[in-house]
């Protein structure tokens, strides 16, 4: 009975939180997009598709949750954004269930996927550099490749994409060999020469 009571209390809490978050989640995402320089968000469709093929292949079709696509991991791109807008300090565990519920029932119904993608692109964590958090792809391009996002070559863009599963470990300035290795795996994936081994294969072991 005690367990059942806790479940009921948690469900009531989660339902209330979803209700509250639905009211202004769109405004918060719009604010993120509005603060970003338009150049930060002008990613060509080809590069957007490359990024999604690697990070969240069903992004435009899923409802913020994908637990079956090989290589997608347990955290969709929408959930990645959700960590930043729904939590001050996200910690794995029960918070993961809360994140999935908030993404599915608050973010997904209220914010179009193109806005979700732009907000994610502007806020993605790309490691730290000299004690400063590198936030967003344009910041990553300027920090690690010394040029704006719009001027990156395809190879340089993949350098940033390759960092995403472990930004501080896969920084091109810290571990260039590991970054190049993951870039090569991504290239094999994009060429259709390999497939991830399963949902959690974010490092693309199946393409080694």
pTM: 0.93
Q: Which two tokens stand for residue 133?
A: 């958090």
Q: Which two tokens stand for residue 91?
A: 């910690």
Residue-wise burial string across 91-101, b where 16 or more C-beta atoms lie within 10 A, e elsewhere: eeeeeeebbbb
Please report, in tens digits, the pLDDT of each residue of the chain (208 residues total).
Answer: 777 777 787 888 889 999 999 999 999 999 999 999 887 888 999 999 999 999 999 999 999 999 999 998 899 999 999 999 999 989 888 899 999 999 999 999 999 999 999 999 999 999 999 999 999 999 999 999 999 999 999 999 999 999 999 999 999 998 999 999 999 999 999 999 999 999 999 999 999 9
Please give the pLDDT value at position 182: 97
Q: Do residues 199 and 73 touch, judged by C-beta distance below 8 A?
A: yes
- Pairwise CA distance, residues 145 & 167, whole Å: 15
Task: Give the contacts of 42 (CB within 8 A, at least 6 positions apart).
Answer: 149, 150
Please give the pLDDT value at position 69: 94
Give me the domains of the chain, ranges plus CATH numbers: 2-207 (1.10.3810.10)
């Amino acid at each position: 009975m005690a367990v059942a009571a806790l479940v009921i209390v948690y469900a009531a809490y989660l339902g209330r939180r979803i209700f509250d978050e639905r009211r202004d989640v769109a405004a918060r995402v719009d604010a993120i997009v509005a603060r970003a320089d338009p150049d930060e968000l002008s990613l060509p469709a080809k590069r957007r598709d490359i990024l999604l093929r690697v990070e969240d292949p069903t992004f435009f079709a899923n409802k913020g949750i994908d637990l079956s696509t090989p290589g997608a991991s347990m955290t969709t791109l929408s959930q990645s954004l959700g960590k930043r807008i729904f939590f001050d300090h996200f910690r794995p565990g029960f918070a993961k269930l809360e994140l999935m519920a908030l993404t599915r029932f608050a973010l997904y119904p209220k914010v179009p996927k193109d806005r979700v993608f732009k907000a994610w692109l502007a806020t993605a964590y790309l490691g730290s550099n000299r004690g400063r958090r590198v936030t967003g792809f344009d910041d990553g391009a300027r920090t690690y490749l010394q040029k704006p996002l719009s001027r990156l070559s395809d190879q340089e863009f993949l350098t940033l994409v390759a960092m995403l599963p472990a930004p501080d470990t896969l920084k091109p300035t810290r571990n260039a060999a590991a970054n190049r290795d993951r870039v090569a795996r991504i290239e094999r994936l994009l060429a259709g020469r390999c497939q991830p081994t399963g949902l959690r294969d974010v490092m693309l072991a199946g393409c080694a």
